[in-house]
Structure 1
Amino acid sequence: MPDAVPDARSEFLAAPAKINLSLFITGRRANGYHDIESLFVPVPGLADTLELSPGPKGSGCRVEPVLPGCPEERNLVFRAWQAFAEATGHAPDVHVNLVKRIPTGAGLGGGSSDAAAMLRWLNERAGDKALGAQALNHLAAALGADVPFFLLGGPAVARGIGDELTPVDLDLSPFTLVLALPEVHVSTPWAYQAWDQLEARKNPPQDCADCLTSATTANKKRVSLSPVVARNDFEVVVFPAHGALRALKERLLRLGAVGAVMSGSGAGIASLFRDSRLAKIAADVLREDGVPVHMETQRYWGVAKR
C-alpha cells in the first residue's frame, strides 16, 4: 500500500525528547506526588513529528494512529487540544498524524513533548483567545509534570513535582551524547512506589545547584563529570529489577563515557563522551548487540543552550 500523501495544507511540528542528567527525589507530598530536583536537557535530534491538517467541520481533534494501550481520549495530544478548548473556547478542527520516534517508557518525555507541541501550536493561532505564559504553563502542568519543560524549550533545573522550572545556561557542545534505548519498559508509578518502600531513600538529598556547578566546571576545565551530574535516585530501585540496565550503564562507562545515567524512571541510558570517535565506537558496539542507540552530535547538541 503506498504511503499517504500529506495534505498540501499540512503543518509539521517537532516534539523533541529530553534527558535528565540528574534526578534527586527530595520528598513525598500528602497527595502522593513526589518532589524532585532534576537537570532537564532537551535532545533536539530525537523527536516525534506531529503532522497537522485541517479536519472536517465539527470533527474536533482526531489523532492517528491510535497507540497500543492508549485510546485516543487518553492520548496527550488529544487531551492538550481538549484542555485548551475548554480553557479558551478555541477548538479548531484538526487531524493529527503522530509519528513516534521517541520510545515510550524510556524516561524521555515523548508524550509530554507531544502535548507541549500541540499547546504551543494552538496558542499561536488563538488570536485574542491566546493564553499568557503563566496561564499556558498552568494548563500544561495539569496535563503532566514534564509538559511545562517542553514549552520552555531549553535546559532547566526542575523542582517541585517537576513543574517549577529555572532556565539555565548550559553549553554541552564539548560532549557527544550516546543515548541507549533498550527495549525495556519501566513504569513510573511502579518506580515511585518502589522508592517509597526503600529505607535508604532517607539519605540527605544533593542540591541540584551543585549538579549544575559540576557540569559547568566540567565544560570549562575539561575534566571528568562529577558523579553528582550523572546521578539518578531511581537507579537504586530500577537496577535491581532490571539488571540489564545497570550492565548497560557500566558498559558505556567502560567504553569511554565520562558520565552515564538513567533518564527519568528509565529505561533510556544517557552517556556523555568528550571524544566523538569513542562515542561512535560505543554506539556501534551497542547496535551490534541489538541495542537501539541515538547519537546526538556536537553540531546539534550545542543548540541545547539558552
Structure 2
Amino acid sequence: MSQFMSTNDLNYPLATLVAGCKVNIFLRILGRRDDGYHDLATLFLPLPSPHDVITITRSAPGTGVQLFCSEKTIAPEQNILFKCYERFGCATGFYPDITISLQKNIPMGAGLGGGSSDAAALLQYLNEQAGASCLNDVDLNRLACDLGADVPFFLLNRPAWATGRGDQLTPVHFPLHDMTMVLACPHLHVATAWAYNAWDEIYLAKTSPYSPLTPEDALDMVSALSNFVFYNSFEVPVFARHPQLRSVKEILLASGAAGAVMSGSGASQFAVFREPFQAEQAVRRLRERDIPTHVFPLNPRISES
C-alpha cells in the first residue's frame, strides 16, 4: 500500500512515499517446492498503519542512488530498496540520481510485509518517472515477484487470496465489515527463514501430495471467514519457540475477540471484535504489558481498498 506526493520545487523532496502494511487473515503452508520455496494459500488484507515513509530527493548528477535508513542494522546494499533501484534500472535503463531516506515504522520480523511494501512503493514511483522506458503491468509485476513474494500484493493494494509462493493473486471482497480490528506488535523479531525451517522440521515428512487451490476454492474459503475461521500454519512452530506470543493471542480472545490469529511468520497478532468496548479492553490489557497496538474500524475503505 503506498501513495506519493511529487513536486518540482528544488527546496522540497521529489516525492514522499507512504508504504502501509498487511496482515494474513488465513495462511496455510501447502508444502515445499522443488525450488526450495513453499506453496501457500493465504488471504491478504492491506492496512494503512503502521506505515513506513520513504523520502526521495535529488542527488548530484552521476551519483546514482544513495540510501539512508532509520534502522541502522540494515546495510544499504542489503536493503530491498537498493535491490529495487538496481533491478528496475537493469530492466529499463532508468537510473535517476536520487537520495532515498527510509523511516522504518513497520516493525521488522512482525509478519507485516514492511520490506515488500517499501519495494512496491518505490517500484511504482520509479515506473511513473521512467517515461517511455516504463514497464507494462505484466513486466512490473514480474519484477516485483523477483524482489519478493509479497511485493505483487502491495502493487495490487486490495484484499486478495494468494497462492503459489503468495504471488498468484485473486482479488476478493472482504466480508468482515462493521467490526473493529486490533493489531498487536510485540517487541520481538521472528525471522521468516527460521519460521519456514521450523515448520519443515515439524511437518515436511507428514505433508501429503496436494493440488493448488483454484480461484473457486479460494472464494469458498473466503465465505468461511464470515464464521471467523482464522488460521496460520506458522503458529505451531512460532508459539513453541516464543510462548509469550501465545499469551498475546490468549489476551485477545479473552477480551472477546470473534477471531484472532498471528500474521505471516509473526510476531504480530491481530483480532476482530464485534463491540468497540471489547477492542478497548484488549488494547488496555496489551498496553499494560508494553505491547504496541493499532486499532482500525473494518469498513469498506479498508477492506475493499
TM over 0.5: yes
How far did 1:236 drift?
Answer: 1.2
2:207 aligned residue (202, 209, 227)? 202
User: How far apart, in 2, do the equivalents of 1:181 and 1:270 lie?
Assistant: 9
Match of 1:139 in 2: 143
Query: What is the percentage of aligned positions where both structures have the same residue?
Result: 44
Amino acid of the structure 2 residue aligned with 1:83: R
- Kindly indicate whether residue 304 of structure 2 is the aligned counterpart of residue 302 of structure 1: no
- Distance change >3 Å, CA 53–CA 249, structure 1 → 2: same
8 A Cα contact 1:171 1:305, kept in partner: no
Q: How many residues align?
A: 290
- The SS at the match of 1:303 is helix
- The SS at the match of 2:302 is coil
Residue correspondence of structure 1 range 1-306 to structure 2 within 5 A: 7-65=11-69, 67-199=71-203, 202=207, 208-215=218-225, 218=226, 225-227=227-229, 230-298=230-298, 302-306=301-305
- Distance change >3 Å, CA 204–CA 39, structure 1 → 2: farther
User: How far apart, in 2, do the equivalents of 1:244 and 1:75 lie?
Assistant: 29
8 A Cα contact 1:106 1:268, kept in partner: yes
8 A Cα contact 1:44 1:304, kept in partner: no
8 A Cα contact 2:120 2:152, kept in partner: yes
RMSD, aligned α-carbons: 2.0
Amino acid of the structure 2 residue aligned with 1:214: A
- The SS at the match of 1:96 is strand
Moved more, 275-284 or 84-93: 275-284
How far did 1:140 drift?
Answer: 0.5
User: How far apart, in 2, do the equivalents of 1:264 and 1:96 lie?
Assistant: 27
Moved more, 255-264 or 278-287: 278-287
8 A Cα contact 2:71 2:104, kept in partner: no
- Distance change >3 Å, CA 7–CA 277, structure 1 → 2: farther
- Distance change >3 Å, CA 9–CA 67, structure 1 → 2: closer
User: How far apart, in 1, do the equivalents of 2:209 and 2:278 lie?
Assistant: 35
Amino acid of the structure 2 residue aligned with 1:212: V
8 A Cα contact 2:13 2:55, kept in partner: no
- The SS at the match of 1:295 is strand
How far did 1:269 drift?
Answer: 0.3
Amino acid of the structure 2 residue aligned with 1:282: A
TM-score normalised over the length of structure 1: 0.89
- The SS at the match of 2:108 is coil
How far did 1:173 drift?
Answer: 3.3
8 A Cα contact 1:13 1:117, kept in partner: yes
Q: 5+ unaligned residues in a row in structure 2: which ranges?
A: 1-9
User: How far apart, in 2, do the equivalents of 1:298 and 1:290 lie?
Assistant: 25
User: How far apart, in 1, do the equivalents of 2:298 and 2:30 lie?
Assistant: 32
Moved more, 165-174 or 137-146: 165-174
8 A Cα contact 2:263 2:269, kept in partner: yes
User: How far apart, in 2, do the equivalents of 1:154 and 1:84 lie?
Assistant: 24
TM-score normalised over the length of structure 2: 0.89
User: How far apart, in 1, do the equivalents of 2:187 and 2:36 lie?
Assistant: 29
How far did 1:211 drift?
Answer: 3.0
Match of 2:6 in 1: none
